[in-house]
């Protein structure tokens, strides 16, 4: 192992300490080395707070040593004035002569500029040390900056014979339980690491899920679901206001009023914009009067154009935001753009089969997690299908031992990862 890799590994370890608190910012760790000894280290602790380089530099007790030291950092030092001063300025001020960087920052206001500023004044800058590992750590941030969409994780549980549930007639019938305590903790850990979580309308209606983090420590993600005609009852968990929630509604039928709510340091500011799972479906005739009112405010230029629909105004309220979209066009791209605008850079899609299949068919996924339980259903709702083994760059199986006397075999979670960065 080279010396640069040794200290970059430490940077990556430090960076992960900010995993639950820095989004939508990237995770960054920094180490300062003087003659083979670490004299300062730090990490980005909080969104809007000081960066890793600041903490590492101010951890050094004798600042005169900085003029003969090397700064290691897993992401290119910032070169712009944001919520904090640029790190390049601090590095130059402290006269640090050498900087080793894991990966460049694709954020448009940085994007190599930090490295150029340092090199232009004579700082020795080494880049791309453990680049793949550095980019993988911040794959949510990297994907958002390069693709202008969230990093997408598809997750479902299925039987050994490829079914995700029995065929149920209504919401009074409970879904098949595939998860064990171990796999449930794994899924809730995954929930705690993403910014947003999504289900389709049918899954929301039939399962009444909470989509919160309960079997792991961490924050619950923002919940997202389409409800074209406000079919989901206000008594359902998704509308309890306990967690930030985005509801996708028919733009030709509803007009949204009120401001966005705030989550994870980012402010939601209005309607979503430019999405395929419910487009073209018929609409139900009912509507929920809890937050709808006749729309005298929508006369003139704002009047609904769809003659077959009556217009209603929807009011956003605490922790719930309605996003008006065009269901005659593909819905998923519109939804992804709305999440990107709100700086929600990672999305976990938990069902159902039709929603998952649309993401797969459109090639909109970065990871797929398939939990296979050691049971067979014989018939029911078929699991989504895709050529994961050919598409994915990384494949691995997570084997979780049985914790219930009902399970004679361990559950397996197969993970497929596309390296799209």
* Residues catalogued as catalytic: 53
| CB contact at 8 A, 234 and 227 | no
CA 226 to each of CA 104, 276, 321: distance values in angstroms, whole numbers, following the listed order: 36, 11, 12
Q: How many CB atoms lie within 10 A of CB 123?
A: 18
Nearest of 167, 183, 192, 150 to residue 341 by alpha carbon: 150
Q: Are 46 and 40 in contact, with CB atoms under 8 Å apart?
A: no
Structural tokens at position 16: 């992960």
Nearest alpha carbon to residue 197 among 372, 359, 344, 360: 344
d(CA 199, CA 225): 5
Long-range contacts made by residues 361-366, C-beta under 8 angstroms, separation at least 24? Answer: 361/276, 362/276, 362/330, 362/332, 364/149, 364/152, 364/332, 364/336, 365/152, 365/153, 365/154, 365/418, 366/139, 366/143, 366/151, 366/152, 366/153, 366/417, 366/418, 366/420
């Amino acid at each position: 192992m080279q010396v640069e890799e040794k200290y970059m590994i430490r940077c990556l370890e430090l960076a992960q300490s900010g995993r639950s608190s820095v989004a939508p910012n990237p995770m960054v760790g920094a180490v300062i080395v003087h003659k083979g000894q670490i004299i300062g280290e730090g990490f980005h602790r909080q969104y809007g707070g000081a960066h890793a380089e600041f903490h590492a530099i101010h951890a050094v007790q004798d600042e005169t040593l900085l003029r003969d030291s090397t700064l290691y950092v897993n992401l290119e030092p910032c070169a712009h004035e944001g919520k904090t001063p640029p790190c390049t300025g601090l590095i130059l001020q402290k006269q640090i002569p050498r900087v080793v960087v894991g990966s460049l920052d694709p954020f448009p206001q940085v994007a190599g500029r930090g490295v150029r500023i340092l090199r232009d004044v004579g700082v020795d800058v080494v880049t791309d040390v453990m680049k793949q590992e550095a980019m993988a750590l911040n794959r949510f941030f990297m994907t958002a900056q390069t693709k202008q969409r969230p990093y997408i994780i598809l997750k479902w549980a299925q039987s050994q014979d490829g079914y995700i549930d029995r065929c149920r007639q209504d919401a009074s019938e409970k879904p098949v339980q595939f998860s064990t305590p171990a796999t449930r903790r794994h899924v809730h850990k995954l929930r705690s690491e993403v910014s947003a979580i999504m289900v389709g309308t049918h899954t929301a209606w039939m399962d009444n899920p909470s989509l919160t983090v309960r079997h792991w420590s961490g924050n619950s993600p923002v919940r997202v679901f389409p409800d074209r005609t406000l079919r989901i009852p206000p008594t359902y968990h998704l509308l309890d206001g306990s967690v930030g929630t985005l509801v996708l509604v028919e733009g030709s039928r509803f007009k949204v009023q009120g401001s966005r709510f705030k989550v994870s340091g980012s402010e939601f500011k209005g309607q979503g914009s430019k999405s395929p799972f419910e487009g073209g479906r018929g609409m139900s005739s009912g509507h929920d009067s809890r937050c709808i009112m006749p729309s005298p405010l929508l006369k003139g230029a704002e009047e609904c154009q769809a003659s077959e629909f009556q217009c209603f105004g929807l009011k956003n309220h605490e922790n719930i935001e309605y996003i008006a979209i065009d269901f005659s066009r593909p819905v998923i791209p519109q939804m992804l753009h709305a999440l990107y605008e709100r700086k929600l850079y990672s999305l976990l899609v938990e069902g159902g089969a039709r929603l998952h299949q649309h993401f797969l068919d459109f090639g909109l996924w970065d990871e797929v997690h398939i939990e296979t339980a050691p049971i067979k259903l014989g018939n029911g709702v078929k699991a989504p299908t895709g050529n994961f083994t050919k598409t994915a760059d990384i494949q691995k199986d997570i084997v979780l031992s049985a914790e219930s006397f009902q399970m004679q075999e361990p559950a397996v979670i197969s993970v497929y990862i596309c390296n799209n960065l």
